[in-house]
Each structure stands twice: as structure tokens, then as C-alpha cells.
Structure 1
């Protein structure tokens, strides 16, 4: 289970270092094999390859009315492998699609990650908090 957020930097080639706390798990369980794809919210999603293969089958099995979502998720998916330094390359077309600049945020969301441009994430997180449904909050004790 992946959780927490990490402020990261994309290098000039579009590479990003996976934080050590996640890198070790991803190397042990996935041999560093990951898949990046677009998210309808405007960020990217980063999946361990085994998790992505299950998701990919679920997405491919959606009815024809879900074709736009299939195009977004499956049509944008790119397999990436961690290099010896624990970095992955975020392809230019994915960086452009998600508006990723140099400063990014990697968010652990259980089985996968979201990758956001840092400024976009800050604005989105404020918006998300302001729109929290009180009924959902009542189901959780802090």
C-alpha cells in the first residue's frame, strides 16, 4: 500500500526519482516495472505493472459508451522501467498532457500513485478540501 506525498523534481530529460520508501517495494515486488497513464482529473497515474494489468483488463472490458475513457487511459498508457538510480522517464507527451513542469508531487493512493504538477496540486487540494461532503466526514473518526 502506497501512501503519503513527495515533492520531486523532473530533470531536464523528464526523469523523476522514485522516493526510496516506495522504490524498495517496487523493485522487490515489480522489478521496477511500472505503467504511466493519464487521469481524467488532469494528472498522471503511476501503477505497478501487475496492478495495471488488472486495471487494463477492467478498462478494456467496459461497454462501448466508455470509449472516450478507454482512449484516455489505454491510449495514453506507457510502460516504464526504473533505471539503476531509481528514476523513471516521463515521456514528453504525458508531461504535456498533465502540464508537468519541473516541480511535481507524487501522491501514494493505496495501489497506485498520482503525479501532479506542484502548482496544480496545491490549487486542486485546496479546491478538494473546500468541497468535501460532510456525509463522508461523518463516516470517519479522526
Structure 2
């Protein structure tokens, strides 16, 4: 079972390439990943096999349910299968970079079963908000 952990700050290089940190690459251990819109303004990255497992859960739900249709449209319409090259880099599609407001700097977050790619300022504001809400508990 994968356990993707940690926070990293790799920059995008020319051609919208992102180098995955070695610890995360070793956990993914596949040559193809899926990138799609996250629920906050970030990008979700799943190992291909994990994506198949995750989507199998949603496929069981009936398309007659409005929320099921919305979720499927949201996640699948923006999904791209992306290859990881021999140096551990992948190319992030421009549409996803625009969605997440990423130009060069990134915050890469291990989120257990997937990775999230954030604009560093958005990540900082998000985590501050979460911290304040947790402090109220």
C-alpha cells in the first residue's frame, strides 16, 4: 500500500516539466500517472493503478444521480494520463496549470493515496485556514 507523505517545493522547468521528488517517485513506482483537477484549486496526481481503483468506486454509482454525474464530469473531463520520463519528470498540461494558478513555483503535497500540486500561496492560505478551524475543535 502506498503512503505518499511530505511537502516539497519543486519548480516547473521549461516545457511545464515537474520533477517528482525521489521519495514520491519510489512510492508511485509506475511510468504513467493521472493528473486531474482537485477539489480545491490544486492538481491531483494518482498512480495509474490507484486511479483505476479510485474511479471504480465512482463507477458503481448510478448516473441517474445528479451529484454522481457532476463528480464524473468534473474529474474525468480534466484528467490526463501523463508519462514519467527516466529522470522522474512529467509534463503538466497547461489547462491544469491555469486551473491551479501555477506558473513556476509549486508546493507538492503527499496526501496519502495521491499527490496534490498547489500554487505555494494558495497552499499557504489553505493550510492556515485549516489550522485555524482545527484550533477551534
Same fold (TM over 0.5): yes
User: 2:27 maps to which residue?
Assistant: 25
CA 1:133–1:65 in structure 2 vs 1: closer, same or farther (change >3 Å)? farther
Q: How many residues align?
A: 132
For 1:56 and 1:119, the matched residues in 2 are separated by 30
User: Aligned Cα RMSD in Å?
Assistant: 1.5
Which of 84, 92, 99 is residue 97 of structure 1 equivalent to? 99
For 1:60 and 1:94, the matched residues in 2 are separated by 23
Offset, 1:134: 4.9
Offset, 1:133: 6.4
User: 2:55 maps to which residue?
Assistant: 56
Question: Does 2:34 align with 1:35?
Answer: yes
Q: Deviations over 1:39-69 (max 9, x none)?
A: 1211111001111001122223334312222
Alignment TM-score, normalising by the size of structure 2: 0.89
Offset, 1:80: 0.8
Q: Deviations over 1:7-57 (max 9, x none)?
A: 110113111000011212323xx2x22111111211111001111001122
Structure 1: unaligned runs, 5 residues or longer = 136-142
Does the Cα contact within 8 Å between 2:4 and 2:27 map onto a contact in 1? no
Alignment TM-score, normalising by the size of structure 1: 0.86
Which of 112, 115, 118 is residue 113 of structure 1 equivalent to? 115
Structure 2: unaligned runs, 5 residues or longer = none
User: 1:130 maps to which residue?
Assistant: 132
- Which has a greater percent of strand? 1
